């Protein structure tokens, strides 16, 4: 067991954890923040995506004790049912989900994508590293491809993200 302390959604948490506990299980099982989902526990599906110090990560692939002092944002930190984040509202409006299980990960990932594009971070499909980065259809789909939606809401998710990014899908 080890003590670890980090901020989640602006609140500091002190936990005493089995060192084998993933960040995902720390959130879900210890802090009862179950909005972050466990789909595969192997970094293959993206359902557990959270934002740590401004970057999106798969919380199942990292141990909680590695995040001492970090600032973590989960889906619960983005908005509430009565006060939706613009991306959450756009997902509702465009029906960018069905069963809802991958949805928090998709939304956290989308927050990360918009930040990456703003910061000019290139992806596999970025053709010109010197040109200003734009969120093209190819960029959006490439960057979101770590988040599987088996219900197949991709076309609607792309439209939801595009609306928030101020462009058409």
Partner 1 sequence: MRFEHPATFNPIDQLKVIGHPTSRIEGPLKTTGTAPYAYERHDVVPNQAYGYVIGSAIGKGRIAAIDLEAAKGAPGVLAIVTAENAGKLGKGERNAAPLLGGPEIAHYHQAVAIVVAGTFEQARAAAQLVRIDYAKGDGRFDLAAGRDEAIAPHPSFGGPADTAVGDFAAAFAAAPVQLDATYATPDQSHAMMEPHASIAAWDGDKLTVWTSNQMIAWGAEDMAKTLGIPRDNVRLVSPYIGGGFGGKLFLRADVLLAALGARAARRPVKVALQRPLMFNNTTHRPATIQRIRIGAERDGRITAIGHESWSGNVSGGEPETAVSQTRLLYAGANRMTATRLAALDLPEGNAMRAPGEASGMMALEIAIDELADKLGIDPVALRIANDTQVDPEHPQRKFSQRQLVQCLNEGAARFGWSKRNPKPSQVRDGRWLIGMGVAAAFRNNLVTKSAARVRLDRQGRVTVETDMTDIGTGSYTIIAQTAAEMMGVPLEEVSVRLGDSDFPVSCGSGGQWGGNNSTAGVYAACVKLREAIAQKLGFNSAEAVFADGVVRSGNRSVSLAQAAAGGDLVAEDAIEYGDLAKTYQQSTFGAHFVEVGVDADTAEIRVRRMLAVCAAGRILNPKAARSQVIGAMTMGVGAALMEDLVVDKRHGLFINHDLAAYEVPVHADIPHQDMIFLDETDPISSPMKAKGVAELGICGVAAAVANAVHNATGVRVRDYPITLDKLIAAMPV
**Which residues of this chain interact with partner 1, rule CB under 8 A?**
18, 20-21, 25, 28-29, 32-42, 44-45, 47, 74-76, 78-82, 84, 88-89, 91-93, 95, 97-104, 107, 137-138, 140-142, 144-159, 169
Least CB distance from residue 151 to partner 1, whole Å? 5
Sequence-separated (6 or more) residues with CB below 8 Å from residue 30 = 15, 17, 21
Q: Return d(Cα 107, Cα 59) in angstroms, integer.
A: 14
Task: Please report where in the chains the tokens 């359902």 appear, as a residue.
Answer: 47
Q: Return d(Cα 78, Cα 89) in angstroms, integer.
A: 11
Least CB distance from residue 118 to partner 1, whole Å? 19
Least CB distance from residue 78 to partner 1, whole Å? 8
Sequence-separated (6 or more) residues with CB below 8 Å from residue 45 = 39, 102, 105, 147, 148
Closer residue to partner 1, CB minimum distance, 6 or 78: 78
Least CB distance from residue 61 to partner 1, whole Å? 12
Closer residue to partner 1, CB minimum distance, 47 or 51: 47
- Other CB atoms within a 10 A radius of the CB of residue 150 amount to 11
Closer residue to partner 1, CB minimum distance, 66 or 92: 92
Closer residue to partner 1, CB minimum distance, 159 or 163: 159
Q: What share of the chain is helix, strand, coil (3-state, %, to 5)?
A: 35, 15, 45
């Amino acid at each position: 067991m080890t003590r670890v302390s980090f901020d989640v959604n602006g609140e500091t948490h002190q936990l005493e954890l089995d060192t084998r506990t993933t960040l995902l299980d720390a959130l879900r099982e210890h802090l009862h923040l179950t909005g972050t989902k466990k789909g595969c526990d192997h970094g293959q599906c993206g359902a557990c995506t959270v934002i740590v110090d401004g970057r999106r990560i798969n919380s199942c692939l990292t141990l909680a004790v590695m995040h001492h002092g970090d600032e973590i944002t989960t889906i619960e930190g983005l908005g509430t049912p009565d006060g939706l984040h613009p991306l959450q509202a756009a997902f509702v409006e465009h029906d960018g989900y069905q069963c809802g299980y991958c949805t928090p990960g998709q939304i956290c990932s989308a927050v990360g994508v918009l930040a990456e594009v703003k910061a000019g971070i290139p992806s596999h499909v970025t053709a010109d590293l010197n040109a200003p980065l734009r969120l093209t259809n190819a960029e959006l789909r490439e960057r979101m491809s770590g988040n599987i939606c088996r219900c197949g809401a991709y076309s609607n998710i792309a439209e939801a993200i595009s609306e928030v990014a101020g462009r058409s899908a």
